[in-house]
Structure 1
Amino acid sequence: MRIAQAGRALTVLGLALGLAACDMAPPAPAPNAPRPPADRGDGPSARSQALAAHYARLERDLRARGLLRMDGGGPDTPWSDTDLMRNFERIVFYDEYAPGAGFRASSGRAGGLRKWTAPVRFSLEFGTSVSDAQRAEDGDTVAGYAARLARATRHPISMAGRGGANFHVLVMSEDDRAEGLARVRALAPGIDPATFNVFRNMPRSIHCLVVAFSDRGNPNSYDQAIAWIRAEHPPLMRKSCVHEELAQGLGLADDSPRARPSIFNDDDEFALLTAQDEALLGLLYHPDLRPGMTPDEARPILRRLIDERAGGPV
């Protein structure tokens, strides 16, 4: 999630690593399996506790100011077909950060349309320190959200076991960082140093992130993604990270201050995917919009699809 002035999520999309199925780590025990309390040491470290306290204060402050809404938008947030067209172009064809350059801002130039053409299979993995109660809660969140994304996109999206997944959601505390970094290395052995350092050197202001990878033969078609969610977040902020990072990992890469109601906006008004965000996903995954299309190529198709929305879903 993105917290104006206080924090933000990081999305690094469009990396061409040429990963193949043989690069994937072998199957391991199910990540949701309960672990004995002894495996979790003597409780969270002071650093992890400080982060948890910081994020709890931040969530309380945001909600006290009427932010982190969960209603998806209403009569106070009207949006038109013109808004949808403008927001689609900004969020889909631009990047917040330069691919493969860590925290460096993007060039501001439009790129090609990017999305998944293969089925998306989410897995959820937890660091050793994460409690069984949180594992159960986050498992329900991700499974329910995967079903919602499948409905919004009409693309095959489902949950999978650790060995059969291609979109890996890692829920890690600071105490699990070495464990999580080892998992990133196993999942993406060809990851470049700048991108790996994004995972290794996350400042407190980065609440969660996603990195999507594409094959060298088709750089605009994703085939793997890794999302990192901080376990120290309170429940709503953790759920907000899931909503934003998983949707961004599908191809909604940028933010726009004009997008409302939307989670793709740094104002943090909305915590969870909105009705307009679902429309953006539905447009992105329409088969007439193909990976690699430029804004000029996509624009007439978008106009037609948006016009058709008046008669029902795209």
Structure 2
Amino acid sequence: MPSSRSSAPARRPAAAAMGPATALATALLTALVLALTLPDAARAQVPPMRPAAIKAAHSGPGPVSLTAARFSDKELTDGFMWTVFGLEYRTWSWKPYQVKKYEGPVLFRLTNLARRDRTRDVRRFINGLTKEVRGLNARLARDTESANFHLFIVDRAQYVETVRREVYRDSSARAPGRCLVRVEAERKGITRSTAVIVADEGDHLFRRCLVEETLQGLGPMNDDDRLVHSVFNDSSDHDTFTVFDRLIMNMLYDPRIKPGMTAAMVKPLLPQVIRDARRVVR
């Protein structure tokens, strides 16, 4: 995935000095950091993001309810900047500090190589994207030639060979990560994405890889450990299309955000873009 992933956990205060809501959130976040480990890359130590949802009053057992309204404009602005600008693997770099997105329809081709056929789950996720993300036109391709997003479902034993053949087109290439996506883009937008999803290492990893690699193949190609409510964070345990990520994707596919834009060009537009994204995501 041409995105530069970086990780360096920030220190947090001891639970004993916190209120019950903060202590619960800290314990949960600590567990999530240990749950899933994908590729590492260097990042400077930075303070963790502090979502408004964590600040909500919560006592006793049970999940904290998350809605779009619980994230501040600053949190969404930071999330957009941290995911859209940057690349997880810089060796695949294509203008990492410019916006990358599809300008036309995203046409998926699915190839199942795994012993267990999970294409039904993948189709369901793809079919829901257009409903979840305003401005995104995503659907299954009618034929191989018209497809511009190729998604391979494999068993772990097939992973390296598939990455080399379908992603790198190099029989000696290294295949990083537990799943990945590569994006090919020009100034006018993304022209092709290729993802490889592992299907035989449990439902959680399959769902996590499906959501993260598909979304990253649509444009936000960087990961950041500060994004505690996002799949764009290799230390999080999310395996669904979270509210936070739906907001980020709706911001990216707002028609005012164009391929090739820099952070300086995008930032003045974000207050209105965020307001409109909140109307779509509840």
Structure 1 and Structure 2 fold alike (TM over 0.5): yes
Matched residues, number: 224
SS at the partner of 2:129? helix
Identify which of 119, 126, 139 aligns with 1:158: 139
* 1:75 equivalenced with 2:64 (yes/no): yes
State the match for 2:2 in structure 1.
Answer: 12
SS in 2 for 1:289: coil
State the Cα deviation string for residues 131-183 of structure 1 (Å, max 9, x = none).
2xx21xx2122111112221232311001243432111112235435863575
Deviation sequence 1:229-267 (CA, Å, 0-9, x none): 123321221111010000000011111222131111122
Residue equivalent to 1:32? none
For 1:245-284, list aligned pairs within 5 A: 245-284=213-252
Partner of 2:22: none
**Aligned residues: percent identity?**
26
Q: Is residue 2:111 matched to residue 1:111?
A: no
Q: 2:174 maps to what in 1? A: 201
Structure 2, unmatched stretches of 5+, are 5-27, 37-52, 54-62
Aligned match for 1:210, one of 174, 178, 181: 181
Pair 1:232-2:238 in alignment: no
Structure 1 residues 142 and 158: CA distance shift in structure 2, 3 A: same
Distance 1:120 1:274, change over 3 A: same
Give the distance between the partners of 1:231 and 1:75, measured in 2 at CA. Answer: 30
Change (3 A) 1:192 1:141: closer
* TM-score with structure 2 setting the length: 0.69
**Counterpart of 1:33?**
none
1:86 to 67, 78, 95: 78
Structure 2 Cα separation of the partners of residues 290 and 263 of structure 1: 23
Distance (Å, rounded) in 2 between the aligned partners of 1:192 and 1:176:
15
Cα–Cα, structure 1 residues 162 and 115, in superposed 2: closer, same or farther, change >3 Å?
same
SS of equivalent to 1:162? coil
C-alpha RMSD of the superposition: 3.0
Tell me: higher relative CO, structure 1 or 2? Use CA pairs within 8 A at least 6 residues apart.
1
1:99: how far off?
4.3
Work out whether residues 12 and 100 of structure 1, in 8 Å CA contact, stay in contact via their aligned partners in 2: yes
Specify which of 83, 89, 96 is matched with residue 88 of structure 2: 96
Structure 1 letter corresponding to 2:174: N
CA distance in 1, matches of 2:147, 2:129: 16
Aligned counterparts of 1:227 and 1:110: Cα–Cα separation in 2: 19
1:176–1:283: structure 2 CA closer, same or farther, 3 Å change rule? same
Tell whether 2:280 aligns with 1:298: no
SS of residue in 2 equivalent to 1:170: strand
Output the amino acid matched with 2:154. Answer: M
> What is the CA–CA distance in structure 1 between the aligned matches of 2:234 and 2:147, rounded to whole Å?
30
1:241 aligns with 2:209: yes
Q: Distance in 2 between matches of 1:178 and 1:84?
A: 35
Q: Normalization by structure 1: what TM-score?
A: 0.63
Match of 1:172 among 154, 160, 163: 154
Instruction: Answer with 75-84 or 265-274: which moved more.
Output: 75-84
Given that residues 250 and 277 in structure 2 are in contact (C-alpha distance below 8 angstroms), is that contact kept between their aligned partners in structure 1? no
Task: Quote the Cα distance in structure 1 between the aligned partners of 2:161 and 2:227.
Answer: 37
